[in-house]
Amino acid sequence: MSAQTNSRVILNKYIPDNDFSTSYYSVDSSQPVPTAESLAPGQVLIKVDSLSIDPHLRFFAAESNPSIYRYELGEAVYSIGVGVVTASKSDRFQPGDIVRSDQFRWADYTVVDEKALDKMPSNDVPPSTYLAYIGVAHFGKTKQGETLLVSAASGAVGQIVVQLAKARGARVVGYVKSLGADAVINYKTCGDFDKAIKEAAPEGVDVYFDNVGGEFLDAVLLNLNFGARVVLCGTMSTNGLDRSKVYGVKNLDLLVTKNITINTLFYALLSGSQVETDFIAEVSELAEQGKIQLKMDVRNGLESAAPALMDQFQGKNFGKVIVKL
């Protein structure tokens, strides 16, 4: 009997700037599923259940990416995933364990080292929820009666930002009212950014959670109140563009004259901290009360993974994008 094949999504060529085609990826079924005997000490074989598809993954495949976080050509790409252990050479994990890691290959089966693997906790919440909490509560210090503006509010992080800010009594300007926003701005269609922000937030903005960067960020700086907080999470408007054509922010002097605080989100630095403890307590309670709900955009099959990634740069998703296998 022939060995079961292990379908994988591989990257054949690095993606040029300004290109959001899926043609650089392909599904390969030439390799067999790894066996328990092939595992090295500490390795775990996992049947993949679902994969998290997030915008930053395109950067890992970019031709212009200078960092060490770059996919290898001809190899299966990877992201956060969840699956079930089928074989293990680790004392920490046994067949049947439900596990997660940020090293899941886009494949039917993936081999992950025990050091990069965690069992799924009973009160599990997606990493995007933790990012939103850090931005709204820790860096944003959002208070009742303040105005919070979040760009790309229908995405994995933005939708939680809206709900967390509303739970804290803030007035929220986002992308869609169905998520609870008090006013809406679609940065892709609103035209004059400065005018749109002034109309949606006539009393100014106290907290800005930025997922798009570029010219919209520049316009927000004009509308921030004294002592405002800015949280930088993503750069959707410039991701994949030729660096020479990326919009240069011009209003940075306002950070000084308006006493604005600006922080970037790198949640790994706060792992295991009091912030994480507070997050679990607050978000678990809000989830039980039905005040936090994560809308999912679920795609099916490995062949949908690359399109699911590129769709996010064209506004074709609503909610957290995952691929179910």
With a CB cutoff of 8 Å and minimum separation 6, the contacts of 323 are 50, 51, 53, 106, 298, 299, 300, 301, 302, 304, 305, 308
What pLDDT is attached to residue 1? Answer: 43
Chain-centre distance of CA 86, in angstroms? 28
What pLDDT is attached to residue 191? Answer: 82
Distance of alpha carbon 271 from alpha carbon 214, whole angstroms = 29
With a CB cutoff of 8 Å and minimum separation 6, the contacts of 121 are none
Q: How many CB atoms lie within 10 A of CB 225?
A: 17
81, 52 in Cβ contact below 8 A? yes
- Sort 23 into a burial class: Cβ within 10 Å, 0-12 / 13-18 / 19+: exposed
- For β-strands 98-105 and 78-88, DSSP reports them as antiparallel
Q: What is the set of domains in the chain, with CATH numbers?
A: 8-133+295-324 (3.90.180.10), 147-264 (3.40.50.720)
Q: Where are the alpha helices (DSSP H) in the chain?
A: 57-60, 127-133, 158-167, 193-200, 214-222, 254-257, 274-288, 305-311
What does the DSSP assignment read for 7-25?
A: -EEEE-SPBPTT---STTE
Averaged over successive runs of 10 residues, the pLDDT of the chain (325 residues) comes to 84 92 96 96 97 89 82 95 96 94 96 91 65 91 96 78 92 80 84 93 96 90 97 77 75 95 79 78 81 84 96 82 93
176, 317 in Cβ contact below 8 A? no
Distance of alpha carbon 149 from alpha carbon 3, whole angstroms = 53
256, 99 in Cβ contact below 8 A? no
71, 61 in Cβ contact below 8 A? yes
What pLDDT is attached to residue 151? Answer: 87
Sign of CA dihedral 295, 308, 121, 282: negative
What pLDDT is attached to residue 312? Answer: 86
Question: Torsions phi, psi of 46, nearest 5?
Answer: -130, 135
33, 6 in Cβ contact below 8 A? yes
Q: Interior CA angle at 228 toward 227 and 232, to 5°?
A: 140
Buried b (16+ CB within 10 A) or exposed e, 32-71: ebbeeeebeebbbbbbbbbbbbbbebbbbbbeeeeeeeeb
